[in-house]
Amino acid sequence: SLLQAITKIFFRKTICYCMSSKIMTVFNNSCFVSPKKSVWLLCVCTRFRECERRCDEDPCCRGIGYVRDTQSPGSDVLCLTLNSFGIQTCGEGERTTWRVQDCTPSKVETGVYPLGWYEKPVSLSEWRLLDASSTLVDPSVSTFDIIHISKDIAEDLDRTRDWCLSACEEADSCAVVSVGRTDSAVRCVLYPDTLACGPSTTTTTGGQDCRLVIRESALQVYLHKEPKAELTSVFIPAHGTLQGEAVTTLLGPDRKTVRQFLGVPYARPPIRALRFAPPQLAEWSGTWNATITRPSCLQPGAVESSASSEDCLYLNIFVPSGIVRSTAVLVFFHNPSGAASNDTPSLLDGSYLAAVGNIVVVTVNTRVAAFGFLSTGSTALPGNAGFQDQVVALKWVQENIEAFGGDPRLVTVGAERSGADVASLHLTSPSSRGLFDRMLLMGGSVFSPASVLSVSKAQGQAEALARELGCPPSSDPEQLGSCLRAAPAQDLNAAQTKLLSVSGPLQAWGPVVDGVSVQGKPSMALMNAGFHRADLLLGSSAEDGLISRAKRIKNFEELQGRAASKTAFYEALSNSLGGDDANAFVKAAATWFYSMQHSPSPAGYNLFSQALNNATRDLFIVCPTIKMANFWAANTRSNVFMYHLPEDTAQTSADLSVPLDVHYAFGLPHSPLTYDLFTNTERRLSLQMMTYMANFIKSGNPNQAHSVSRVAFSEAALPPWHAFQPHPEGDSYMEVEPGLSNHRGLRRAQCSFWADYVPALTASTGGWPPGQTEQSGQKGLGQGSDQEPNGHSDKVPLWRWENLPERQPSLQHSIYQASIYQASKRHMTASLEFAKRHLKDF
């Protein structure tokens, strides 16, 4: 026809239209002089090409049409370029993404004319038709919209497909369209970017398997080739606009966009008068540049650089593409180290975990050591500012995370190492109630002997720091606080580093019992049922230990020319094995048990250092973690899962700035910065750990959840993780190694030593177990239980050795007799040598 001859694109005639936007082209009045219909038609036809050209050039144009405009005098016919045809969408359920557009016509009167309404076909070059192997069907997918196209129109499948693809192009979040038939209609489902990655059964490219997830099978599934520009600005009420950036995250051959909002202030800079003070709400307005990594908080061992600062109360938010709302959130407290050789602020990148898990990840800097916990027990220096930083950050998340697509009702609190000791206090603090519902503890717990300080010990630490800084002696907390606030931040940090280098972990700054944030010793609060029930995932690592954690302090002291402090540090660390009173008998027992006999040779010294690291790891980290899991499993109805990273894991943490288990959980083996440090097997292990973690964050169970994992990945790719269960043969846990196997009895003999033998020995020699006081009770850190004293001193518990081999019944009696009645070093040494011959069996 004449129309087809003059057009470049064969527009389809349609009877369904909508004028959500229009551009008018008024025809010359001379076209309408002749009353003859043929002249009128010819005039319209000659103008069709101009309308078509405009529509071709406008990527938003969906079609053209001719209408009579009764509001425009002198013009009877208008050419309109249409930005939308009226496609009705109907969401199924409340959690749908897109809403029906307002297609109410304007004052322009519409009607079908000889050339009618014409639709421009969708450019299929912008879409990729997927094969079935690249998709997964999961009926639990909850973010989608549905288009039903009635049967009388649906006979033309290409045409109805174009309508669905057009609707997806107009929606900000749509990236995937499935087209299928029902009895009465063509049914199209519109999805955001539903790419899900998880572990595969192979080890190539790190062993990941990435596929698009749809909620129902379909005849065709289309993916938009070019991802839509992510909205990188978010409005924060009472402040202004956060301007972030979209970053492409690579997972082997696959990629996903993650929006990053970095360096977001959640509190005012704690400087000058606000040093040591509780956090104050942030004050900013307008537009905040959230594309810059801000400095981490000063911590012992950090040298002066732009990588760390006292102005450090910032958080970072990682939002994967495709999420819309009600997404689970991880708030992870982590303070990156300010390395001596790097002036660039470091960042724990949450992009990989966010992309794989389809969750919102928030990492938070908080004050640590003296800056966060220095206290005199007075209103001048109350302490616990670092813990209150965490509370304020959690409240910020509750108030603002919905703007990023997160669900404030699904918040998991996480932390690692000493930060986990602090974060676990949220389980007992009244100020944390209602701020989270799950917890992830990586290398710390409330049962650590050094988790909380008494007021008297905190006062002694503050006075020692003041002396080191040259403050005049004073018993007035106000004067002491004024001097400490006036000291330059780097001087204060150097002073606390020096003190820590010659003291043990029981002298480190930490939370103080203040009656407000920390109302009492956490273990006692737990025993008195003063805790918030939450699902718990916790674990430890064989490479961890107090010597490992103190590397930065030792390096700092060596840079200052104080290499001799290394010996003092080892001595203080050894003394900590004897508890607050440095019980010589306990220290001797630990020296024997862990083979820490010192040798002057370099090889012997290294063995001593490793043995001491193992002893402090068991006492302060691993055994308290196991006790925490035991208590939580026995006293709550919450889920409990435990892991351990074994010593024979291929990759060591020598060249890593964060612990290895944190690397795996956050997907950092996939990062270009550390990619070459890991093998494909380790990258696959990291992908498995991310999937476990994301499942736990979403559902409280690492084995399921998330709407994708249970469908997409077989048990061969993601072995079942058994829930923690106390058992006579040992408690259950997952070993984080390539086989991901379940085991029982982690460090059973070592924890029995600290839980059973040491308390009996300590009581018999007039002291208390490491980290314990008379007021806190006599129980140790494991599974031992006290019985009636049977005539002995009322301070001497009879400890039940549950883990000793039954085939040696004399062992329990022999060690008990040695502990209770033989307090001299000569007899103790003899009894230990006797026990050593027997304890080798377990």
The span from the CA of 136 to the CA of 645, in Å, is: 32
* Inter-CA distances, 171 with 117, 226, 360, 397, 536, Å: 23, 14, 22, 28, 39
Q: How many domains does the chain have?
A: 4
Minimum mean pLDDT range among 47-56, 103-112, 461-470, 691-700:
103-112
Helix or strand (DSSP H, E) at 759 = helix 758-764
Question: What average pLDDT does this structure show over 610-631?
Answer: 93
Looking at residue 83, its pLDDT comes to: 62
**Does residue 823 form part of some domain?**
yes
State both tokens at 260.
């990053």
Q: Outline where DSSP puts E strands in 706-813.
A: 732-735, 741-744, 786-787, 798-799
In this structure, the answer to whether residues 299 and 338 fall within a common structural domain is yes
Residue 470, domain CATH = 3.40.50.1820
* Phi, psi torsion values for 98, nearest 5 degrees: -115, 155
810 within domain boundaries:
yes
Residue 483 belongs to a domain: yes
What is the rounded average pLDDT of the residues 324-340?
82
Q: Give the pTM.
A: 0.79
**Tens digits of per-residue pLDDT, 452-478?**
998 999 999 999 999 999 999 888 999
> What's the confidence (pLDDT) of residue 772?
54
Q: Which of 175-189, 732-746, 818-832 has the lowest mean pLDDT?
A: 818-832
Q: Which pLDDT score is estimated for 427?
A: 94
Domain that holds residue 60: 2-86+108-119
Q: Are residues 169 and 284 in the same domain?
A: no
What are residue 451's phi and psi, to 5 degrees? Answer: -70, -30
The tens digit of pLDDT for each residue in 251-284 reads 777 788 899 999 999 999 999 999 999 999 999 9
Instruction: Point out the domain boundary residue: 677, 709, 744.
Output: 744
**Residues 161 and 215 reside in one and the same domain:** yes
DSSP alpha helices (H): ranges in 300-424? 351-357, 369-373, 385-400, 418-423
* pLDDT score for 700: 96
Nearest by Cα to 336 from 316, 353, 351: 316
Measured in degrees and rounded to the nearest 5, phi and psi for residue 781 equal -105, 20
Residues 61 and 176 in one domain: no
**pLDDT score of 144:** 86
* Structural domain contains residue 714: yes
Q: In terms of Cα–Cα distance, which of 361, 424, 354, 358 is closest to 387?
A: 424
Distance between CA 724 and CA 210 in Å, rounded? Answer: 30
Amino acid 322: pLDDT = 74
Whether residue 444 sits in one domain with residue 322: yes
What residue type is assigned to position 698 of the chain?
A: K
- Mean pLDDT is lowest, of 199-213, 229-243, 610-624, for 199-213
Residues 763, 730, single domain; the answer is: no
How large a percentage of the chain has pLDDT more than 90?
41
Does the pLDDT at position 538 exceed 80?
yes
Q: How far apart are CA 608 and CA 597, in angstroms?
A: 7
Cα separation of 516 and 525, whole Å? Answer: 13
In the prediction, which pLDDT does 824 show?
42
Residue 13 lies in a domain: yes
In the prediction, which pLDDT does 784 show?
Answer: 36
CB distance 542 to 644 below 8 Å: yes
User: What pLDDT band is residue 96 in, cutting at 50, 70 and 90?
Assistant: very low
- Nearest Cα neighbor of 383 from 454, 330, 312 is 454
CA dist 692 to 202, 314, 331, 431, Å? 18, 28, 16, 29
User: Which range, of 534-548, 674-688, 781-795, averages the lowest pLDDT?
Assistant: 781-795
Among residues 693, 724, 744, the one where a domain terminates is 744
Same domain, 523 and 672: yes
Is 98 part of any domain? no
111 vs 262, higher pLDDT:
262
State whether 710 and 827 are in the same domain.
no
pLDDT tens-digit map of 543-591: 888 887 877 676 666 666 666 566 777 787 787 787 776 788 888 888 8
pLDDT tens-digit series, residues 362-397: 999 999 999 999 999 898 899 999 999 999 999 999
Question: Is 541 found in the same domain as 405?
Answer: yes
- Whether residue 501 is predicted with pLDDT greater than 90 in this model: the reply is no
The crossing angle, in degrees rounded to 10, of helices 602-617 and 565-576 is: 40
Domain C-terminal end among 725, 744, 763:
744
Residue 756 lies in a domain: yes
Question: What per-residue confidence (pLDDT) applies to 461?
Answer: 93
User: pLDDT per residue over 152-198, tens digit each?
Assistant: 555 678 888 888 898 888 787 789 999 998 877 788 999 988 888 77
Let me know whether 694 and 755 are in one domain: no
Dist. CA 398–CA 153, nearest whole Å: 47
Is the domain of 729 the same as that of 753?
no
Model confidence at 813: pLDDT above 80: no
The more confident residue out of 122 and 807 is 122
Residue 267 and residue 212 share a domain: no
- From the centroid of its chain, how far is CA 421? 17
- Asked if residue 234 belongs to a domain, the reply is no
